[in-house]
Structure 1
Amino acid sequence: MENRNWGFCELSIDRNFPTGDLKKLGDLGYHTITINSYVEEATDEPKKKKKKGDLKEKKDAMPAPLEIPQELSRTSKLNILQRITIEFSDSSIAHKMNQSENLKKFDIIAVVPKTLQAFQYACGTMDVDVITFDPQTRIPFKISRKLYRQAVERGLFFELMYAQAIRDSTARKNIISTAHTYHAIGKSKNIFISSGAENLSQVRNVHDVINLGFLLGLNSNESLNTVKNNARRLILKSEGRRYGKHYMKVETVQNNDNKTIDK
Structure 2
Amino acid sequence: MAVFADLDQRVGYNPKALCIAVSELFTTLPIVQGKSRPIKFLTRLTIIVKNPSHCNVLRATSSRIWLYDIIAVFPKTEKLFHVACTHLDVDLVCITVTEKLPFYFKRPPINVAIHRGLGFELVYSPAIKDYTMRRYTISNALNLTQICKGKNIIISSAAERPLEIGGQYDVANLGLLFGLSESDAKAAVSTNCQATFLHGGTRKTAFGIISAVKKPQPSEGGDDSLQACKKAKCEG
> TM-score, normalised to structure 2's length?
0.80
1:186 to 126, 133, 148: 148
CA apart distance, 1:210: 1.1
Q: Give the conservation status (yes or no) of the 8 Å contact 1:89–1:113.
A: yes
Q: Following TM superposition, by how much is the alpha carbon of 1:40 offset from its aligned partner in structure 2, in angstroms?
A: 4.9
Gaps of 5+ in 1: 1-17, 43-58, 248-263
Paired residue type of 2:122: L
Q: In 1, are the aligned partners of 2:48 and 2:74 still within 8 Å (CA)?
A: yes
Match of 2:20 in 1: 37
Instruction: Determine the C-alpha separation between the residues in 1 that align with 2:78 and 2:22.
Output: 19
Match of 2:72 in 1: 110
Q: Compare the two structures and name the one with the higher helix fraction.
A: 2
Shift of 1:60: 2.8
TM-aligned CA deviation for residue 207 of structure 1: 1.1
User: Secondary structure in 2 aligned to 1:36?
Assistant: coil
Residue 84 of structure 1 pairs with residue 51 of structure 2: no
Q: Is residue 64 of structure 2 the alignment partner of residue 64 of structure 1? A: no
Normalized per residue, the structure richer in strand is 1
Structure with higher Rg: it is: 2
C-alpha displacement at 1:147, in angstroms? Answer: 1.3
Deviation at 1:39, TM superposition (A): 4.8
Of residues 20, 25, 29, the one that matches 2:8 is 25
Q: 1:241 aligns with which of 188, 203, 223?
A: 203
Q: Distance between the aligned counterparts of 1:36 and 1:21, measured in 2?
A: 12
| Structure 2 residue matching 1:158: 3-state secondary structure | strand
Partner of 1:8: none
Judge conservation of contact 2:96–2:122 (CA < 8 Å) in 1. Answer: no
Output one character per residue of 1:104-133: Cα deviation in whole Å (capped at 9) or x when no partner: 321000011011121111011100011113
Q: What percentage of aligned pairs have identical amino acids? A: 33
The residue type paired with residue 17 of structure 2 is T
Quote how far apart the aligned CAs of 1:200 are: 0.8
What count of residue pairs does the alignment treat as equivalent?
208
Measure the CA separation in 2 of the matches of 1:160 and 1:114: 15
Local SS of the residue matching 1:137: coil
Unaligned runs of 5+ in 2: 210-236
Shift of residue 162, structure 1, vs aligned partner: 0.4
Are 1:108 and 1:129, in contact at CA under 8 Å, matched by a contact in 2? yes
- Give the superposition deviation at 1:92: 1.8
Runs of 4+ aligned structure 1 residues displaced above 6 Å come to none
Distance 1:191 1:21, change over 3 A: closer
- Cα distance in 1 for residues equivalent to 2:173 and 2:3: 28
Q: Secondary structure at the match of 1:38?
A: coil
| Distance in 2 between residues matched to 1:238 and 1:118, nearest whole Å | 21
TM-score normalised according to structure 1 size: 0.72
Q: Please tell me whether the aligned partners of residues 109 and 130 of structure 1 are also in contact (alpha carbons under 8 angstroms).
A: yes
Partner Cα distance (1:211, 1:133) in 2: 19
